[in-house]
Amino acid sequence: MPGEFEQYGGRHVPDPLEEPLAQLAAAFEEVVPSEEFQERYQYLLKHYAGRPTPVYHAETLSERWGTNIYFKHEDLLHGGAHKLNNTLGQGLLAKKAGKERLIAETGAGQHGTATAMVGALLDIPTKVYMGRKDINRQEMNVFRMRLLGAEVEEVTRGNEGLAEAVDAALEDFAGNMEETHYLVGSAVGPDPFPRMVREFQSVIGREAREQVQELHGDLPDACVACVGGGSNAIGLFHAFKDDDVMFYGAEPGGKGDQHHSAPLSKTEQDDPEVFQGMKTKVIDEDTTNHSVSAGLDYPAVGPEHAALQELGRAEYHAISDVEALDAFRELSEAEGIIPALEPSHAIALAKKLAQEDRHDTLLVNLCGRGDKDMQTAAEKFDLGPS
């Protein structure tokens, strides 16, 4: 079945949602491979979004860590993260299907911003659901979304985070299915979202696979990416699926005590659950261990990652806030690149792998830039009064 990854994934939704999702799956299969769609999509990826993004050999870190480190520079994509690859694809598909409004959920605000950009570009009214906790720590992205013409709706239930924003967006969708496209921001949710988001993000790995070979003369030994829902990670990994290249995902370990907030790497593994339309691995309900990075603060993980782990194709490791912040600072000082806090988890994991001498060459997805995190950095590193 398309949309199933081993025992994970699927389309576990109430009856009324089944039909619109089946229609979306059919539209995805028919429209996306068409020449007309691809021409427009590839045109916008290149001229609007700034693809291809470069691969960079981080010479200072490579020397320091004794392992070749290459970065895929998704932070240079328009908007400052990988999100636009997906929102452009889904936005074009929604337009083609005659949808009159876009809705989205957002955590750090990066996906909301990328959706608002596409809403403006394609002239489709856009509403973004965002938890109050995230609105408070990512104010700049709220301003960006509003400036781009989107309506930002504050979600105040539960943890006031990404999971609650998804619930609110799902409810909106259930009430307005005919005219609305729910533009899901990660490789999560009911089918067809995990495979559709993978399709739109896999340009990352396709480009990087060629670029690393050009620069390095060979494939990397492993790919490393941070995992919130898992879209930038699967977008990097997918092109290497048939290669002898290992995959590593960095999950948010929060304060680092028990890794409760990391569904694949927490110490006590539970059975999979049905969560927000998919069967996957989920964190413990009572966890209070939240990540410093809003973009990774999601209680579940994309089903394909759960499958990759089960197959032994990929490993997932929890990275604590402190480890991520150290990596954030080290990359800034060593290479003159300020990463987002999310990929700082991947950089910290790459450093650990280098210290364990597990591989000679690592390709790391630098999936976002750090501008949005400067307030956090200023507080953590005492960068002085503003």
Ligand X SMILES: *Cc1c(COP(=O)(O)O)cnc(C)c1O
The residue (of 91 and 368) whose beta carbon lies closer to ligand X is 368
- Which residues, listed in sequence order, are joined to residue 369 by a DSSP beta bridge? 339
The residue (of 142 and 177) whose beta carbon lies closer to ligand X is 142
Token look-up 């490993």 returns 315
Site stretch for ligand X (CB under 6 A), options 96-104, 152-160, 212-220, 227-235: 227-235
What minimum distance in Å lies between the beta carbon of 27 and ligand X? Answer: 22
Site stretch for ligand X (CB under 6 A), options 24-32, 148-156, 222-230, 278-286: 222-230
Beta strands in the chain (DSSP E): 4-5, 8-9, 55-57, 68-72, 101-106, 126-131, 151-155, 180-182, 222-226, 246-252, 273-275, 278-280, 314-319, 361-365
The residue (of 8 and 177) whose beta carbon lies closer to ligand X is 8
DSSP 276-334: TTEEE-B--TT-----S-GGG--SB--HHHHHHHHTTSEEEEEE-HHHHHHHHHHHHHH
Q: Does 108 bind ligand X (CB under 6 A)?
A: yes
Q: Does 231 bind ligand X (CB under 6 A)?
A: yes
Site stretch for ligand X (CB under 6 A), options 119-127, 159-167, 205-213, 223-231: 223-231
The residue (of 177 and 366) whose beta carbon lies closer to ligand X is 366
Q: Does 73 bind ligand X (CB under 6 A)?
A: no
Q: Does 364 bind ligand X (CB under 6 A)?
A: no
222-226 sheet: strands from edge to edge:
55-57, 68-72, 361-365, 222-226, 246-252, 314-319
Nearest 5°: phi and psi at 213? -60, -35
Cis peptide before 339 (omega within 30 of 0): no
What minimum distance in Å lies between the beta carbon of 99 and ligand X? Answer: 22
Site stretch for ligand X (CB under 6 A), options 108-116, 283-291, 306-314, 324-332: 108-116
Which residue in 195, 367, 370, 373 binds ligand X (CB under 6 A)? 367
The residue (of 3 and 249) whose beta carbon lies closer to ligand X is 249
Closest CA to 370 of 294, 304, 311: 294
End-to-end CA distance of the chain: 54
Q: Does 295 bind ligand X (CB under 6 A)?
A: yes
Q: Determine the Cα–Cα distance for residues 155 and 176; give it in Å rounded to an integer.
A: 18
Number of residues lying near ligand X (CB under 6 A):
21
SS3 of the chain: helix, strand, coil, percent, to 5: 45, 15, 35
Q: Determine the Cα–Cα distance for residues 194 and 184; give it in Å rounded to an integer.
A: 9
Which residue in 184, 226, 246, 319 binds ligand X (CB under 6 A)? 226
Q: What distances in angstroms separate CA 320 from CA 6, 150, 191, 217, 266, one per listed residue?
A: 29, 34, 31, 34, 12
Which residue in 11, 51, 83, 279 binds ligand X (CB under 6 A)? 83
Other CB atoms closer than 10 Å to residue 66's CB: what's the count? 10
The footprint of ligand X on residues 310-349 (CB under 6 A) is 340, 342-343
What minimum distance in Å lies between the beta carbon of 63 and ligand X? Answer: 26
Q: Does 134 bind ligand X (CB under 6 A)?
A: no
Which residue in 228, 252, 277, 303 binds ligand X (CB under 6 A)? 228
Q: Does 86 bind ligand X (CB under 6 A)?
A: no
Site stretch for ligand X (CB under 6 A), options 21-29, 166-174, 221-229, 307-315: 221-229
DSSP state of 76: G
Q: Does 112 bind ligand X (CB under 6 A)?
A: no
Which residues, in sequence order, are CB contacts of 217 under 8 Å at separation 6+? none
Token look-up 């910290």 returns 348
Site stretch for ligand X (CB under 6 A), options 37-45, 150-158, 224-232, 268-276: 224-232
Closest CA to 130 of 158, 109, 103, 157: 109
Q: Does 252 bind ligand X (CB under 6 A)?
A: no
Which residue in 53, 67, 87, 110 binds ligand X (CB under 6 A)? 110
The footprint of ligand X on residues 141-200 (CB under 6 A) is 186
Chain residues binding ligand X by CB under 6 A are 81, 83, 108, 110-111, 186, 226-233, 295-296, 340, 342-343, 367-368
